[in-house]
Structure formats: structure tokens, C-alpha cells
Amino acid sequence: MAPTSIRSVCVYCGSGNGSEPVFREAAESFGRLLAEAGIRLVYGGGSHGLMGTVARAVIAHGGHVTGIIPSFLKARELMLENAQEMIVVGDMHERKRLMFERSDAFVALPGGIGTLEELVEQLTWAQLGQHQKPILLANIANFWKPLLVLLAHMREFHFIRPGLEVHYLVAEQVGDVLPMLRQAVAMRSRQPA
């Protein structure tokens, strides 16, 4: 249930670039870091926005990309044609299941409602004991600060309570993401089953 090493990372991020150039720079940088580390990217398969940026950066630096896209989004998100592996599925549920199955960890770069929904689903599954894979919010330019405040608010009012903690990591810089994921996996592997 818990990975023993990080061989693949699922990246959730926007199909747009957002308003700040630092978001695109972070996506490009993270793609390069994944490729240099020999870690496979698993992502939503589109070529627009941060999704396309991170995938193209992985490919440009010799890394491996697995895109998973529902058939109805192939044209809308303009499927990335040069990914080494592109899986077209029937619906969003199948997409998310395959992304989960093929990933050892999850990273949320800035994004919109879809990014938030995918991130929260992984947080929920982890909270309910369905997996122990690390989940990390790349808090580029404080993008995830409102969500972090909301999670603290939920804890304060005991909607996130002992026994139902939400475990996640927060990195302010993309250079910290992979070391934090590796450390989380190493710590979990040392815990008794």
C-alpha cells in the first residue's frame, strides 16, 4: 500500500498557465527535475497550460511521460502527441483510478477546480486509509495558502479530528519537492506495519 521508493509522480496542475510567470517556470523546472531524477511523470495528458509545460519539460530532458486522458477531452485539452505513453480512457473516474494506480506520489502545482478536486480526492483516500502514498502541495507564490488556511480551520472546528488526520507535505520551492517525497517514503518504510 505504501511505496518503498519514488519511481513515478502524478502531477495535478492547471490546463491554463495562470496569471503569474512563476507558475510556468515552476512547472518547467519540476519537469526537468523529474527527468533528471529518472522519475516518470503521470499526468492528465493535455498539452495546454501547466500540464503541457511540465510534460514537455520531462520529454525535453529525456524523461518518460505517461498521459491519461478521457476521450471527450482529447480535443479540448489538445492531447500531447509526443508523450511516450498516452492512455485514452472512457471517463474521468477511469482516468483518476489509473493515475492513482500508476503513481508512487502526488504533487499539486497551481491549478483550478479540476486540480483541487483531484488533490482533495487523494487527501480523502489517504485520510480513510486507502493509501499511504505521499501527497505534496507545491505552494508556489503562496498559491495553496487559502486551502492550507481552510484545512487548519477544519482542524480547529474538529471536522479533521484525531484518527482522521489529513497528512500532506508543503513545499515552497520545486527544488524541495523530490527530497521531501523521498524523505516521506523513507520514514514510512521504517514504521512498523
**Structural domain of residue 37, as residue ranges?**
8-190
The model's pLDDT over 74-100, given as tens digits with 9 standing for 90+, comes to 777 777 889 999 999 999 999 999 999
The answer to whether residue 3 is domain-embedded is no
| Count of residues in the chain | 193
pLDDT, the chain, mean = 94
- pLDDT at residue 190, rounded to an integer: 74
Q: How many domains in the chain?
A: 1
| Angle made by CA atoms 109, 170, 97, in degrees to the nearest 5 | 55
- pLDDT at residue 2, rounded to an integer: 67
The model's pLDDT over 111-145, given as tens digits with 9 standing for 90+, comes to 999 999 999 999 999 999 999 999 999 999 999 99
Please report, for the domain that includes residue 126, its CATH number: 3.40.50.450
Whether 189 shows a pLDDT value over 90: the answer reads no
What's this model's pTM, rounded to 2 decimal places?
0.95
- pLDDT at residue 192, rounded to an integer: 63
Contact partners, residue 87, CB within 8 Å, separation at least 6: 45, 66, 67, 68, 69, 98
The share of the chain scoring above pLDDT 70, in percent, equals 97
Whether 193 shows a pLDDT value over 60: the answer reads no
The answer to whether residue 1 is domain-embedded is no
